[in-house]
Amino acid sequence: MTGKVEYYFKHNDGTHIQGIGLGTFASTEGDCERAVLNAIDVGYRHIDTAYFYGNEAEVGAAVRKKIDEGVIKREDIFITTKLWCNFHEPERVEYACRKTLKNIGLDYVDLYLIHWPFSYKYRGDNELIPKDANGEVELVDIDYLDTWGAMEKLVDLGLTKSIGVSNFNEEQLTRLLANCKIKPIHNQIEVHPALDQKKLIALCKKNGILVTAFSPLGRHNAELRTPTFMYDGKVQAIADKYNKSIAQVLIRYVIELGTIPLPKSSNPKRIEENFNVFDFKLDAEDHAILDSYHNGERVAHARQAIKSKYYPFNVYSACF
């Protein structure tokens, strides 16, 4: 088994997705386009972006370039993007999706996610986190079930092949499953040793929903030497055992939790390194060590939306 092995999962709607993807959050100003070009050359066939990231156009430019070069065909690449929180009114969903397709420069995306279950007041396409005169984020009460109904229509229109959610907790996902015509194929959530999400992953698996894992390495801060697991000698020892980097061990751990990781990098060497995680397997002792870092600590809190009744992290089980 080599690091170049391409392995795929089948969704509940029959589509397929590669078992690792390139994350692109906070990658702009040309970095994103270069990263996607490099990733495709390495072997990535799964790219994750979002309207909120401001880099859909860069993702699209890179994909189209590789199609024009004959490196890939459109059907070879799986592109995920997301509906932002200010477009949750059902009448705005199709508009938002079409705007995204214009940004990307393609006729369809493979997967369109509701980025968060809560909603912001619409103050224009580019006012992504609207605030009132007091500096408070302007939340609106839009039921994500209503948004989902509009998402289902996008599949019928051929604007996206599949639909799913992101950052939904167990209660929200269960409620959605009980009230949908088209079942979500994905729940994209934060997963790493400090937040292993085992309970939520199990619920998704039980219902035939794949989990994509963002921030599989946590949020790296070299000055503060955080997260702890990135700097612990015990994790370094695991990496040494397999002649791998700590990052590769962490990505492999997230894979073995039953998720599809989305490591983000714009560094060509790291992009390739992150992809080469299919030629080793962690043992029970490794898992016990990595499991020990679980404390429910998140990278993405979205605390600006904590007053929304749809804020997903007020539920204890959503963390543990």
Quick check: helix, strand or coil at residue 283? coil
Here the tokens at position 230 are: 């990135």
Phi-psi label, residue 197: left if phi above 0, alpha if psi -120 to 50, beta otherwise: left
11-49 as b/e, with b when 16 or more CB fall inside 10 Å? Answer: beeeeebbbbbbbbbebeeebbbbbbbbbbebebbbbbb
Quick check: helix, strand or coil at residue 13? coil
As a whole number of angstroms, the distance between CA 273 and CA 267 comes to 10
As a whole number of angstroms, the distance between CA 150 and CA 73 comes to 29
As a whole number of angstroms, the distance between CA 310 and CA 276 comes to 38
- Whole-angstrom CA distances from 179 to 128, 143, 174, 309 are 28, 12, 9, 18
Determine which one of 7, 44, 51, 53 is catalytic: 53
Is 53 an active-site residue? yes
Q: Is 192 marked as a binding-site residue?
A: no
Residue 231 burial by CB count (10 A; 0-12/13-18/19+): exposed, middle or buried?
middle
CB 174 within 8 A of CB 315: no
Here the tokens at position 192 are: 């790493």
Quick check: helix, strand or coil at residue 185? coil
As a whole number of angstroms, the distance between CA 299 and CA 218 comes to 6
241-270 as b/e, with b when 16 or more CB fall inside 10 Å? Answer: ebebbbbbbbbbbbbebbbbbbbbbbeeeb
Known binding-site residues for substrate equal 115
Known binding-site residues equal 115
Residues with catalytic annotation?
53
